């Protein structure tokens, strides 16, 4: 389980209006759903109301018992230190780190902690049509999808290189840099070379005016005083608030569950990576909070370039190929299945090459019955953020709400062989030129696979040209089930991606 540092990391929002975001409504005005005494649903606001289709008292009691059990199950904080190889490159969303020096370890720590971490929450306002006030036990794929979208928004509104200055306050980042395993050692036991950045700094705190943690913290305070950093801080806070756990947050669980109803899903159901991709597309299309951004969802493992062009700038369809000033930035979501019942090892190198690309914003998937957000790898281990940690809800409508619980201080890894084949890959392109570069770079990464069939493809034209109904990105069909060549298809026994259970 992931753990959260007890120190509070708070910012002053400033009131700067960010490009790409709609002006934020007045925070000090209490919203209609705000409770009396604590942040959750108002006591007695729904329990005394019984209408057609509303849960009865037995359902309410079951929901409360299940909620209590899940809060305990996912509330434990088990701390363990994750080991990283000292010599192998560590890839994090297109950035490479070689942890052979303390400065490089610190650079990785800052980059990892700066990613937005969305986890289970408890005691949020009751989800419409249910008695649920938590997503513990069922909402992990929605949380993984939130993290994918959040990474896209950070790149869209800030930059791919942005880091959170106050990430330094989360000093309990549990990593250990080790030598690679030696073939001559009986057990291949790795040997530690130097402690984590936290340990190495603790002994020199306050001793040096130019180096160590003291100098680093002074540098961070200096950065926080600049206008650019204050604006970036306000944008960071604003992005986090878009994922708040209340009905008005455009990308919160309440809105995502609402968008899932058209796909036959409801609160308490399990969601697959393909359905979540379409839910995210609908949520972005519906909101006016984020400007100049569209989401495209590939269909049948195919990205139709003309459909992307039509989505980003309809004026270019059938017209000039010159770059347009009216082009919307785009997040591409590609649902795929990397094998049959388990991951096809032939696709591992391809997944690595995709994660090396700066245009990649992550992969939502996981291991069987356990959704995760993959953000990188080292050697044969995937690096991920885990939503399976239950935290108290944060009232993001308040000025200077604490940001610490939206950032993870515990990197985790797992072997590629444990990766479930069902997943959705995310990419971001800011401009038309970036989209063209993305197509070339991703196509080159896809061609690296030893497998005969690529994970997905880019083709010219639009979906209708290939006998498909509707526009690309508007269908919720599950992606093709890719099997190794020479093996017969077992379509009669095959479950769709969205029937796959993630607990």
Is the pLDDT higher at 448 or at 30? 448
pTM of the model: 0.75
What's the number of domains the chain is made of?
1
Residue 386 annotated to the active site: yes
64 within a domain of the structure (yes/no):
no
d(CA 149, CA 25): 22
Q: Please, which pLDDT band fits residue 463 given cuts at 50, 70 and 90? A: confident
Residue 140 annotated to the active site: yes
317 within a domain of the structure (yes/no):
yes
Terminal CA-CA length for the chain: 14
pLDDT in tens, 11-37: 233 333 445 676 554 444 444 443 333
Max CA pair span of the chain: 71
The torsion angles phi and psi of 221, rounded to 5 degrees, stand at -65, -35
47 within a domain of the structure (yes/no):
no
At residue 392, the 3 state secondary structure works out as strand
Instruction: Please identify which of the residues 388, 390, 423, 481 carries the catalytic annotation.
Output: 388
The DSSP H or E segment spanning 234 is helix 227-241
Instruction: Please identify which of the residues 245, 386, 420, 498 carries the catalytic annotation.
Output: 386
Is the pLDDT higher at 17 or at 422? 422
472 within a domain of the structure (yes/no):
yes
Token pair, residue 112, equals: 């990892």
In angstroms, what is the C-alpha Rg of the chain? 23
**What pLDDT is recorded for position 171?**
52
140 within a domain of the structure (yes/no):
yes
Contact 337/272 with Cβ under 8 angstroms? no
Q: Please, which pLDDT band fits residue 442 given cuts at 50, 70 and 90? A: very high
442 within a domain of the structure (yes/no):
yes
Contact 156/20 with Cβ under 8 angstroms? yes
pLDDT in tens, 156-176: 999 999 999 988 777 555 567
User: DSSP string spanning 91-124?
Assistant: EETTEEE--SSHHHHHHHHHHHHTSB----EESP
From residue 469, alpha-carbon distances to 310, 334, 462 in Å are 16, 18, 10
Instruction: Please identify which of the residues 135, 136, 140, 390 carries the catalytic annotation.
Output: 140
73 within a domain of the structure (yes/no):
no
Q: Which residues are registered as beta bridge partners of 414?
A: 382
Return the residue matching tokens 């052979």: 100
Q: What is the mean pLDDT of residues 206-211?
A: 36
**Phi and psi based region of residue 44 (left: phi greater than 0; alpha: psi -120 to 50; beta: remaining):** left
What number of residues does the chain have? 503
66 within a domain of the structure (yes/no):
no
Residue 297 sits in which domain range? 78-202+210-499
Residue 254 annotated to the active site: no
Question: Does residue 73 register a pLDDT over 80?
Answer: no
- Mean pLDDT of all residues belonging to the chain: 76
């Amino acid at each position: 389980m992931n753990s959260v540092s007890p120190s509070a990391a708070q910012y002053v929002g400033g009131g700067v209006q960010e490009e790409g975001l709609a002006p934020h409504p007045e925070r000090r005005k209490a919203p209609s759903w705000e409770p009396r005494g604590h942040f959750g649903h108002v006591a007695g606001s729904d329990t005394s109301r019984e209408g057609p289709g509303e849960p009865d008292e037995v359902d309410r009691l079951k929901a409360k018992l299940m909620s209590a059990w899940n809060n305990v199950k996912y509330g434990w904080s088990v701390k363990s230190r994750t080991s990283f190889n000292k010599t192998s490159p560590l890839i994090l969303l297109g950035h490479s780190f070689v942890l052979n020096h303390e400065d490089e370890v610190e650079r990785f720590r800052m980059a990892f902690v700066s990613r937005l971490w969305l986890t289970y929450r408890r005691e949020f306002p009751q989800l419409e049509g249910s008695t649920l006030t938590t997503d513990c036990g069922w909402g992990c794929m929605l949380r993984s999808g939130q993290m994918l979208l959040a990474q896209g928004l950070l790149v869209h509104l800030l930059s791919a290189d942005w880091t959170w200055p106050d990430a330094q306050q989360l000093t309990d980042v549990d990593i250990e840099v080790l030598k690679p395993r030696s073939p001559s050692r009986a057990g291949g036991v790795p040997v530690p070379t130097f402690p984590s950045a936290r340990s190495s700094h603790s002994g020199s705190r306050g001793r040096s005016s130019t180096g160590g943690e003291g100098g680093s913290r002074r540098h961070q305070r200096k950065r926080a005083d600049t206008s650019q950093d204050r604006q970036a801080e306000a944008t960071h806070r604003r992005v986090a608030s878009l994922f708040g756990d209340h009905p008005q947050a455009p990308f919160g669980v309440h809105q995502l569950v609402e968008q899932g109803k058209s796909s036959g899903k409801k609160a308490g159901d399990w969601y697959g990576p393909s359905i979540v991709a379409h839910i995210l597309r609908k949520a972005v299309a519906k909101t006016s909070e984020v400007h100049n951004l569209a989401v495209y969802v590939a269909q049948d493992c195919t990205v139709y370039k003309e459909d992307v062009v039509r989505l980003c700038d309809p004026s270019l369809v059938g017209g000039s190929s010159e770059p347009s000033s009216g082009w919307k930035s785009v997040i591409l979501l590609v649902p795929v299945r990397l094998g049959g019942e388990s991951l096809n090892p032939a696709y591992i190198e391809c997944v690595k090459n995709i994660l090396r690309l700066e245009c990649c914003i992550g992969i939502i998937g996981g291991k069987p019955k356990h959704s995760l957000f993959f953000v990188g790898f080292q050697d044969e281990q995937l690096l991920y953020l885990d939503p399976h940690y239950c935290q108290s809800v944060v009232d993001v409508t308040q000025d200077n709400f604490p940001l610490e619980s939206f950032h993870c201080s515990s990197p985790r890894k797992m072997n590629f062989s444990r990766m479930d084949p069902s997943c959705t890959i995310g990419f971001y392109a800011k401009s038309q030129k970036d989209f063209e570069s993305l197509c070339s770079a991703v196509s080159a990464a896809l061609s690296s696979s030893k497998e005969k069939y690529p994970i997905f493809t880019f083709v010219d034209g639009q979906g209708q040209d290939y006998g498909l109904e509707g526009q690309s990105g508007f269908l919720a069909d599950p992606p093709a089930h890719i099997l190794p060549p020479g093996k017969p298809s077992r379509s009669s026994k095959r479950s769709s991606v969205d029937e796959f259970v993630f607990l």
